[in-house]
Amino acid sequence: MDTAKSLEIIRTLANGVDPYTGEEYPIDSPYQHPQTIRALFVAVQALERVKKAGDWQRQLPDNAGKAWEDEEDQRLVSAFDSGKSSKQLAEDHQRTASIRSRLLKLGKLQL
């Protein structure tokens, strides 16, 4: 089950409604107890954070967070020396703004 569907079900439960029938739970139902409702809303908030983090992660370039290999370092230095911008280097290497950090480490940029 995906996060979006889980959120939908838990939100419905937190509102005191059976997510499958659409009927309101009776007042003596455990789903109507104030602490249960609070717990369900905490679960909703946690799942929203998980979903947001997953959405953010999917937007990162393919190589973001991966270790650099010597061959990639050499290609980076060569492209940098030929005048490519940090933005273009990041696109070429499927990296984030970490390109600047890598160039610093390789001695190509100064602080």
At a CB cut-off of 8 Å and minimum separation 6, what does 32 contact? 16, 25, 26
10 and 54 share a domain? Answer: yes
Q: pLDDT tens digits, residue range 49-95? A: 888 877 777 778 888 888 999 999 999 999 999 999 988 999 899 99
Q: Is residue 13 part of a domain?
A: yes
53 and 79 share a domain? Answer: no
Looking at the predicted structure, is the pLDDT value of residue 42 above 90?
yes
What pLDDT does residue 111 have?
A: 80
- Which residue range forms the structural domain that includes residue 94? 70-105
Token couple for 95: 């990296």
Full-model pTM: 0.51
Average pLDDT over residues 101-106: 93
* DSSP 8-state symbol, 33: S
Number of domains, the chain: 2
Q: How confident is the model at residue 97 (pLDDT cuts 50, 70, 90)?
A: confident
